[in-house]
């Protein structure tokens, strides 16, 4: 399973890249706004900086909701960098835009997926990725992971190549469950990736190894 970070924070993207496990980045207008990036020029420059840090796909979302507007934005976004993937919302106009863009060889990440039917439509239109929002489904007492499972089964039934990108990941358990089910990618906050590192027995074990080492060294010094 690939690991993407779901942020527009350059420091966090660099930190994830330096960890050596980063395969890509997803952003959305809320995440860009959180970083205080305002104005088209600045937003495009910010995407350029992200692409220079990470080797993999970088999703950049359109803000238009009409077909023509989405295509115009997509044409501008893909000029920023060859690794830009155009993020299109799961609405009727978006579906038509996915069909057109994928036909032109442009990679699309279809976002705001909350049902298997939406995922199937996006895949049929040629999306490279579908982004089911796990955490937001959990928020309304629906099992987000069950949706990942459902989409996996459907895509496997028909050999659909569209990649399942588990989004709205909120914790390390979401990441592990996504991997178990067979999501192709999990896009996560850096904190959830870092949380995978932690285990109390690792800390206790390391402390014991080091204290045994220190003890053995002081004993051998006494012998000399």
Active site residues: 87
CA–CA gap between residue 167 and residue 184 (Å, rounded):
11
Q: Which of 130, 187, 192, 193 binds ligand G3P (CB under 6 A)?
A: 187
Among the listed ranges 131-139, 143-151, 153-161, 191-199, the one in contact with ligand G3P (CB under 6 A) is 131-139
Rank residues 126 and 144 by Cβ distance to ligand G3P and give the closer one. 144
What is the rounded (10 degree) CA torsion for 88, 134, 129, 65? Answer: -10
The number of residues in the chain equals 224
Residue 90 Cβ, how far from ligand G3P at the closest point, in Å? 12
Least separation in angstroms between residue 78's CB and ligand G3P is 20
Separation of alpha carbons 53 and 26, rounded Å: 13
Is 191 or 211 the residue whose CB approaches ligand G3P more closely?
A: 191
- Tally the C-alpha atoms within 13 A of residue 192's C-alpha that lie toward its C-beta: 22
- Please tell me whether residue 91 adopts helix, strand or coil conformation: coil
Going from the C-alpha of 46 to that of each of 26, 75, 81, the distances in angstroms are 13, 17, 11
Please identify, among the stretches 95-103, 118-126, 132-140, 174-182, the one whose residues bind ligand G3P according to the rule CB under 6 A.
132-140
Give Cβ neighbours of residue 179 (< 8 Å, ≥ 6 apart): 1, 186
The residue from 136, 138, 194, 196 that contacts ligand G3P (CB under 6 A) is 136
Listed ranges 15-23, 65-73, 127-135, 177-185: which one lies at the site for ligand G3P (CB under 6 A): 127-135
| DSSP three-state, residue 126 | coil
Contact map string, positions 137 to 156, toward ligand G3P, x by CB under 6 A: --------------------
Q: Which single residue is written with the structure tokens 């010094």?
A: 221
Nearer to ligand G3P, 17 or 171 (CB): 171
Residues of this chain that interact with ligand G3P (CB under 6 A) are 6, 26, 28, 131, 133, 135-136, 167-168, 187
């Amino acid at each position: 399973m690939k690991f993407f970070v779901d942020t527009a924070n350059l420091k966090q993207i660099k930190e994830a890249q330096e960890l050596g496990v980063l395969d890509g980045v997803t952003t959305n207008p809320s995440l860009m706004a959180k970083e205080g990036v305002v104005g088209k020029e600045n937003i495009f420059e910010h995407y350029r900086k992200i692409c220079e840090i990470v080797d993999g796909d970088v999703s950049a979302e359109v803000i238009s909701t009409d077909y023509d507007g989405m295509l115009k934005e997509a044409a501008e976004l893909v000029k920023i960098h060859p690794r830009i993937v155009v993020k299109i919302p799961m609405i009727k106009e978006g579906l038509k835009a996915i069909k057109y863009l994928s036909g032109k060889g442009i990679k699309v990440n279809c976002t705001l997926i909350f049902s298997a039917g939406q995922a199937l439509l996006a895949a049929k239109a040629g999306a490279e990725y579908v982004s089911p929002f796990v955490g937001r489904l959990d928020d309304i007492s629906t099992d987000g992971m069950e949706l990942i499972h459902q989409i996996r089964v459907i895509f496997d039934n028909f050999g659909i190549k569209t990649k399942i990108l588990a989004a709205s990941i909120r914790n390390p358990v979401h990441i592990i469950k996504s991997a178990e089910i067979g999501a192709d990618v999990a896009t996560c906050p850096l904190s959830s990736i870092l949380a995978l590192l932690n285990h109390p027995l690792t800390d206790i074990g390391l402390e014991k190894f080091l204290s045994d080492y220190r003890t053995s060294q002081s004993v051998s010094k006494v012998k000399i």
